[in-house]
């Protein structure tokens, strides 16, 4: 018995070391980016590489705002990403509830059609989508950036897999108490799927925040362009000034970190429940 316990402890320590090495390897680029954003150009190009800056400077952050209209790009990304995330979640939650907890003609066909759309590359629909949006007069507008991207099959199917796991007996009990579909959704279904909703919200925000191709195609004016496009301009402007690019990248990922911090608990819970279901 003691020998078996020792083997288990030894195995756990090996697993812990492997996971620790993996975690450190994933954290290294972020730590290096953070430190490099405070370095001078001499420190960035020094050999052997310097881990810590010899002189901590904020000039790199100031240079970002001097080279490009960074604040405008930043605010555009925040506005479009938040608005797109809210609309995506609204559409996906309603669609997921309808697909899993309601009955209507062609329900199964629609579900299969929705799932099959996930296998269509986005580049295939880019040109017809652009022609449609342009014909509607939405080019160079925030609506043109956001509206074509709010219907996402992935988010709907993700939520549907969790909504389907809620027992119908709970819904029947709510109907006996006089609840309609809206109250059942908000009082029964959503409270029991907080983890899945938080996970889907985080994925939707990340998708909107890093979106590059569609905002680049549908906008031509600087006042509507988003942060990923602005970072591309910065690469052109700063050329080999890697410390400036690191400063811009650090500022660019702050909203993502904030979103992850708020959703971390529910995200871990959702992953745990998914593993238990399988």
CATH code for the domain in which residue 76 is found: 1.10.3720.10
| pTM of the predicted model over 0.75 | yes
Assigned domain for 233 exists = yes
Length of the chain: 278
Assigned domain for 124 exists = yes
Assigned domain for 37 exists = no
Place of tokens 């030894």: 10
State residue 271's pLDDT score: 57
Distance of CA 31 to the CA centre of its chain: 21
Assigned domain for 26 exists = no
Assigned domain for 210 exists = yes
State residue 1's pLDDT score: 47
Q: How many CB atoms lie within 10 A of CB 72?
A: 16
Assigned domain for 13 exists = no
- Give the pair of three-digit tokens for residue 181: 């579909």
Assigned domain for 68 exists = yes
- Give the pair of three-digit tokens for residue 247: 């400063």
Assigned domain for 10 exists = no
Number of domains the chain contains: 1
State residue 277's pLDDT score: 47
In whole angstroms, how far apart are CA 27 and each of 32, 76, 160, 198, 207?
9, 28, 33, 24, 21
Contact 264, 93 (CB under 8 A): no
Q: Quick check: bond before 108 cis, omega within 30?
A: no
State residue 243's pLDDT score: 87
State residue 152's pLDDT score: 81
Burial (CB count <10 Å: 0-12, 13-18, 19+), residue 76: buried
| Positions in the chain short of pLDDT 50 | 1, 275-278
State residue 86's pLDDT score: 94
The three-state secondary structure class of 141 is coil
State residue 39's pLDDT score: 87
Residues spanned by the domain of 135: 60-277
State residue 254's pLDDT score: 86
Integer Rg of the chain from CA? 24
State residue 275's pLDDT score: 47
């Amino acid at each position: 018995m003691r020998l078996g316990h020792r083997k288990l402890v030894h195995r756990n320590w090996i697993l812990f070391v492997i996971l620790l090495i993996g975690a450190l390897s994933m954290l290294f680029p972020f730590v290096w980016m953070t430190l490099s954003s405070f370095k001078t150009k001499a420190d960035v190009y020094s050999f052997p590489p310097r881990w810590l800056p010899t002189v901590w400077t904020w000039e790199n952050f100031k240079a970002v705002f001097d080279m490009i209209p960074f604040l405008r790009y930043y605010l555009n990304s925040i506005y479009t990403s938040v608005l797109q995330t809210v609309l995506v979640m609204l559409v996906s939650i309603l669609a997921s509830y309808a697909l899993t907890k309601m009955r209507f003609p062609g329900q199964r066909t629609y579900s299969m059609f929705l799932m099959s759309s996930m296998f269509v590359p986005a580049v295939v629909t880019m040109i017809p989508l652009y022609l449609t949006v342009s014909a509607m007069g939405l080019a160079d507008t925030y609506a043109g950036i956001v509206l074509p991207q709010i219907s996402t099959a992935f988010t709907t199917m993700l939520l549907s897999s969790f909504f389907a796991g809620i027992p119908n007996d709970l819904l029947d009990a709510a109907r006996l108490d006089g609840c309609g579909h809206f109250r059942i959704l908000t009082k029964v279904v959503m409270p029991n799927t907080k983890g899945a909703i938080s996970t889907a919200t985080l994925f939707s925000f990340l998708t909107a925040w890093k979106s590059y191709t569609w905002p680049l195609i549908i906008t031509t004016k600087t006042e509507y362009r988003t942060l990923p496009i602005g970072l591309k301009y910065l690469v052109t402007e700063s050329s080999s000034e890697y410390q400036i690019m690191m400063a811009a990248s650090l500022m660019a990922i702050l909203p993502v970190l904030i979103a992850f911090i708020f959703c971390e608990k529910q995200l871990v819970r959702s992953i745990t429940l998914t593993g238990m279901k399988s």
